[in-house]
Amino acid sequence: MDRSAARGRRPRAARSEQPGLCAFRTGKAFEFVTDRLAGTSGCPHHLSRLLLLTHRDPPTHPARMPAPMKELHMFDATTENAAGRTILFLNGPNLNLLGVREPDKYGSTTLREVEETVAKTLSAHGLTARFVQSNHEGVLVDAIHAARTECGAIVINPAAFTHTSVALRDAIAAAALPTIELHITNVHKREEFRHHSYISAVADAVIVGAGTHGYILAALHVAHLLLG
């Protein structure tokens, strides 16, 4: 038995075979944290706590397991992150409830199902996807900043931040990447306050009212912009 485990200490990090990853073993659970997100490269604190979990079984000692970071959902469709061929898909507040929240407006497809379909669509064009969903404005801003050097384009559904966030607008402008603004519903047929977008002025294209299929349209348009 590992001496550190017997004493109730957190085991030392073991280098993973996958570049840029370190692995911690706790019982039967493996926690993979990228070196960049773990803070070794100056990553913002919001992202430094991100855990990508695999092989997760119920832990023998739950008290030893770190609390999950509920405010950020992130899913990389590939382990490779070649700048210029990775597309950042950003989803704002409440979109983690896609599929169960007001299905008459937003449909019954879950966010994870959307992500899987988008990843397959991009893969057919030799592109990969990075997906980030958060209910917190600063987390989305940090993801856009990281995309400046790590991604080739941005697709963003800012949700309620569409109508309020100058910070997201300025981050997108600073990133200077091809950007598509996306809305599942036709916001122009809804309440008047939803008609204004701070994002549209810095987006290269806007897709509204196509349901979750709009994400596929956005993926295809990004492929067209980048590959011709």
Task: Give the catalytic positions in this structure.
Answer: 106, 183
> Smallest Cα–Cα separation from 134: which of 88, 194, 190, 201?
88
Structure tokens at 31: 């926690």
On whether the CB atoms of residues 133 and 73 are closer than 8 A, the answer is yes
- Residues of 192-223 as b/e, b for ≥16 C-beta within 10 angstroms? eebeebbbeebbebebbebebebbbbbbebbb
CB atoms under 10 Å from CB of 102, counted, come to 11
